[in-house]
Structure 1
Amino acid sequence: MIGRLQGILLEKSAPELLLDVNGVGYEIQAPISTFAVLGRIGDPVILYTHLAIREDAHQLYGFSDKSQRTLFRTLIKVSGVGPKLALAILSGMDVNAFASCVHAEDVTALTKLPGVGKKTAERLIVEMRDRLKEWQSAGPLWDAVDQQEQASADSMLQDAESALVALGYKPTEAAKMLNKVAGQADSSEDLIRLALRNSLGNA
């Protein structure tokens, strides 16, 4: 199972994007909520992924954080809800808003989502209610720590990329240099040193 990918964003045209991971291009489908936080073409990207295997295709779905992926995986277990509809739900409503609708049994709000009729909304409420309770009893409904760590990592990469560009590297070149050493440092300064050392070592 492919659970996480880190690479360079090559193309994005909702709901599909293309991610370069060490020279391999991964075609990924993602909700609009994930597209909203993606950077520019050429920027480093980290996605939490779900691999769906069918007889006729292997499809990757990508999400900006674990909470989106958790909800997606739970939604596709609901009768009548496939990956396409699950993506539409995540595109039209964030995870906390969806949880609130389920707890409040707000059929009207759910039917405003694309592809969700009254019967589907009622089925979502019935089948998701207990699962949401289980997540809440285990702690915070969504992993805020993961989101904070992601934001910190993204900020560190941006700072390091800006510094490399200031040193004369092109943005796409700087992004590729950093992608090779991302996750190996605890500060932007260390990340820059590693990127430069790796680049000089391969020169």
Structure 2
Amino acid sequence: MIAYIKGKIAYKHNEYIIVETNGIGYKIFTSLSSVQAMGPVGDEVKMYTYLYVREDIMSLYGFCTQEELSMFELLISVSGVGPKAAVSLLSSITPSKFSLAVITDDAKTLTKAQGVGSKMAQRIILELKDKIKKEQLVATEKLKEESVPADGENTRIPEAISALMVLGYTPIEASRAVSAVYSDDMDLESIIKNALKGLAR
């Protein structure tokens, strides 16, 4: 199992890139959002990968973030959803918005992706809703345990994280965004505003 590949970008295309490392070029199929997030040819990149193997095919898929990879793995676990449809969804929607669409039965948002029809969207929602809810519940409880303030400490960090989660961001995304902007002199509103600016980039 190849967990990730780190090397120089030798070639970029809307559907795949070639990463050169130790004299070997790896063709990695990826999402448009990952392609847009990485630098130009010649820059170094780290791709979190999944080796897709079937009787007549072996392809390497990779993404710039672990959140995208997790979403890809969830999608291909759905009956009838192949890697191409999964990548199409990743190219049209962020992992946090995808999770929100599934939890709220928003099939219309899912069908905006090329190759994803109404039946496939409904199947994705049916098979993944409980899984995503369970993952978010576990992550939320973990964050609560890690961020319980001691006596006298402020509660701005867990409150800011909770506010971002209400807006549809995953616990991991919310936690990272808040940690990136937090300082002791910021009030709750400032933390949330600055975290949202970071997430919008």
Q: With structure 2 as the length reference, what TM-score do the two structures score?
A: 0.69
Alpha-carbon distance between aligned partners in 1 of 2:30 and 2:176, rounded to the nearest angstrom? 17
Secondary structure (helix, strand or coil) at the match of 1:78 reads coil
C-alpha root-mean-square deviation of aligned residues, in Å?
Answer: 2.0
Q: Does 1:52 align with 2:52?
A: yes
Quote how far apart the aligned CAs of 1:142 are: 5.6
Deviations, residues 84-142 of structure 1 (Å, cap 9, x unaligned) = 00000100101011111111111222222211111111111111101101210121536
Alignment CA distance shift 1:142-1:22 (3 Å): farther
Alpha-carbon distance between aligned partners in 2 of 1:107 and 1:116, rounded to the nearest angstrom? 10
Alpha-carbon distance between aligned partners in 1 of 2:176 and 2:136, rounded to the nearest angstrom? 17
Quote how far apart the aligned CAs of 1:147 are: 6.8
Residue of structure 2 in register with 1:135 after alignment: 135
Q: Larger relative CO (CA 8 A, sep 6+): 1 or 2?
A: 1
Q: Structure 2: which 5+ residue stretches go unaligned?
A: 141-169, 181-201
- Identity rate, percent: 37
CA contact (8 A) 1:3 1:48 kept: yes
Correspondence list, 1:47-86, <5 A:
47-86=47-86
CA contact (8 A) 2:103 2:133 kept: no
Q: With structure 1 as the length reference, what TM-score do the two structures score?
A: 0.69
After TM superposition, the structure 1 stretch with the greater mean CA deviation from structure 2, 62-71 or 134-143, is: 134-143
Alpha-carbon distance between aligned partners in 2 of 1:146 and 1:20, rounded to the nearest angstrom? 33
- What is the count of residue pairs matched by the alignment? 149
Residue of structure 2 in register with 1:89 after alignment: 89
Alpha-carbon distance between aligned partners in 1 of 2:77 and 2:50, rounded to the nearest angstrom? 13
- Structure 1 residue runs of 4+, over 4 Å off? 145-148
